[in-house]
Amino acid sequence: MDQIAVSWVLLCTFLVCIMQVGFLWLEAGMVRRKNAINVAIKNMADFCVSAGLFWAVGFGIMFGASSGGLFGFSLHFFNSSDPWAQVFFFFQLAFCGTAVTIVSGAVAERMTFFGYLATAALGAGVVYPVFGHWAWGGLLSGEASGWLELRGFIDFAGSTVVHSVGGWIALAAILVIGPRLGRFGRHRNAIKPSDLTLTISGCFLLWIGWFGFNGGSVLALDESVPGVLLNTLLAPAAGGMAIIALTVSGWRGITVPDIVNGVLAGLVAITANCHIVTITEAFIIGAIGGWASYGGRLLLEKFRIDDAVGAIPVHLIAGVWGTLAVAIFGDLDAMVNGSRIEQFIVQLTGVSAAGVYAFGVAYVVLSVIHRIRPMRVTAREEVCGLNASEHNEVSPMDVLLTEMAEQAHTGDFSKPVKVERFTEAGAVAAGYNRVLARVRREEMEKAAAMEAVSHEKLRAEAASMAKSQFLSTISHEFRTPLNAIMNFSRLLTMQAKTAGGDERQVEFLRHIESSGGHLLGLIDQILKFTSLEADKYELNESEFDLGALIEETCDYYGERIAASSLTHNLSVQDDLPMLAGDRDAVRQVLLNLLANAIQHSPKDGAIDISAYLTSDDQINVTIRDSGKGVAREDLKAVLTPFTQVVKPGATPPDGMGLGLTLAQALVKAHGGSFFMRSEPGQGLEVFIRFPAARTVTEGATALSA
């Protein structure tokens, strides 16, 4: 017995076993945190199942005495005392565990623990050892016995025997159980890995373990081992570089997992041929394997096949490529068949047989099991996460996320979340609770402020209502005696004229009547203003000729304009359209604006009035006086109710400061706009605009200031 060979294969076996840790890290990082424990325990459980079944029946089926080149029927329940046989069994058991654990990543996040154990048992006890016998059945005895092996099929370390077979089983399993919830819905690709750092660490660990995978397959420590190891180093590097090259060239959609899987695909692709290709050829094979894995990922997504970690593109597709690459790049002297074409046909036969057998058996058996006992968790369990639903294991972060989700659902943030001390989740929970406390404090302050504002608003509304009621009552009380005074003064004037009374007495009586009319006008303005504030003023809409109304208003003030020696320039567009609105309200606007212009224009001054249709179907009315004007900072005060701008030493104007305020409110009630422009010494310009195409509503329309 070659002690060096035994030691070398044992060392390589240890490295292959370490690959189980690499698979665990890779998959746990690729899935969501709520499923990481489930993935980890499945990796451990499948190795337990694989070891037990491979010892009991798998090793005998794979390497026992052959029955027609289809399967072995001896060496079951392996119990040999031969050291080399024990080393060989140990090495092959690790290979079996690798083939089975490939399925774990593909079906992650939705397969039941029972379903996965059944799949692992099927792979370790039936599928893997049977095909292994076809390709490697004579490795232990030294004489070819499997039907593929007898035809010269070459798969040095298992690109097809281990990886493609595992990939075919994985494909069958995910077709039976279907994609994860939300994977191919409206938010496509929304499922993100939880820890890519762990995933990349797992990839490096697999890379290291692969030296045992390929190096140990030599089954000796001879001059071929360095070349095998060097090819095992360069091929995955080329696979990663191939994906990185796509990223650098601007190829869109490349992710970190794509680069990781490019490295792994390079490892899988070189596994079948690492003993018979040159270093350059190994680099090419690895690069093509990387690209194949990326293309495989896109192909699966196109057909809505959900592989959680990319196991099928890496192990199945790259495994097929690596097995076929034997005939394309391999050393002809190492091939039983004399030509590359013949060898390619044999290699193609091997990968086809693996697909038909491994996929066919797995799909049929798993479909039957799924009908009897569903292998997929319920939707509720999938949303909750398999850590909790399958194993009742919940991490502190899961507990925190559940509490936060519950608060978001109920809207009750009155209680802090539980803090798990000395954990990352506890630090997050403590910070979240500080945020909650701040939010609750601000909500209380906001509620108190809102209550105070509401109280002040009620007081202001009550005060406004009291003021409006007071003004309305006083206005009505004034109207009656003023009407009486005006009527009596009118009668006295007529009597004085009839009796030929004193002209001065008649003039005084006219002043009384005029002053009464002025007071009535002021009272009308107060009444309208109080109605506006109380939202009780109503527009009585109809269509009318705005141009005619402007001319009528100018005629109304004709005597007053003439008495002040003012010049008024009126310009109204001939084809001005009809205006839909309250004619009396618009007349009030024009009266107020024209009265204001007359009052503030000096003798021999000018008032310009124009009306025209704008390009955006607005009727524009402009009234410009030649008075002293108003400073810009005082324009706002001019529109404040009961406010008049009076310069020091100047005589206060007539009125109460309601004219412009009422005019602005009535214009806005018609859907129009009101704007003033003025500079000291340049007079005041008032611009009002009414929509020309307003539709008349039926009945009265409530007006809100």
**684-691 and 618-624: which strand pairing?**
antiparallel
pLDDT value, residue 310: 97
pLDDT value, residue 694: 46
pLDDT value, residue 370: 98
Domains of the chain and CATH, by start = 3-391 (1.10.3430.10), 537-703 (3.30.565.10)
Question: Which residues are CB-neighbours of 424 under 8 A, at least 6 positions away?
Answer: 396, 397
DSSP characters over 467-532: HHHHHHHHHHHHHHHHHHHHHHHHHHHHHHHHTT--HHHHHHHHHHHHHHHHHHHHHHHHHHHHHH
Give the Cα separation of 285 and 292 in Å (integer): 10
Q: Which residues of 402-441 are buried (b: 16+ CB within 10 A; e: fewer)?
A: bbbeebeeeeebeebbebbeeeebbebbeebeeebeeeee
DSSP characters over 151-199: TT---SS-IIIIIIHHHHHHHHHHHHH-PPTTTTSTTTT----S-HHHH
pLDDT of 528 higher than 60: no
pLDDT of 559 higher than 80: no
Q: Among the listed ranges 424-433, 460-469, 483-492, 640-649, which one has the minimum average pLDDT value?
A: 640-649
How many helices (H) and strands (E) the chain has is answered by 26, 11
pLDDT value, residue 467: 56
For the segment 398-417, the average pLDDT, to the nearest whole number, is 79
At residue 506's C-alpha, the angle toward residues 504 and 511, to 5°, is 95
Burial of 36 (C-beta count, 10 Å sphere; 0-12/13-18/19+):
buried
State whether the Cα torsion 210-215-217-219 is positive or negative: negative
State whether the Cα torsion 336-340-344-345 is positive or negative: negative
For the segment 9-26, the average pLDDT, to the nearest whole number, is 97
Pick 52 or 629 by higher pLDDT.
Answer: 52
Instruction: Answer yes or no: are the C-beta atoms of 342 and 293 closer than 8 Å.
Output: no
Query: pLDDT tens digit string along 594-617?
Result: 887 787 788 778 888 988 888 777
Block residue for tokens 């004037």: 493
pLDDT value, residue 698: 37
Pick 527 or 421 by higher pLDDT.
Answer: 421
Identify the CA nearest to 266 among candidates 282, 278, 247, 253: 282
pLDDT of 476 higher than 60: no
DSSP characters over 335-390: -SSSSHHHHHHHHHHHHHHHIIIIIHHHHHHHHHHHHHS--B--HHHHHH-HHHHH
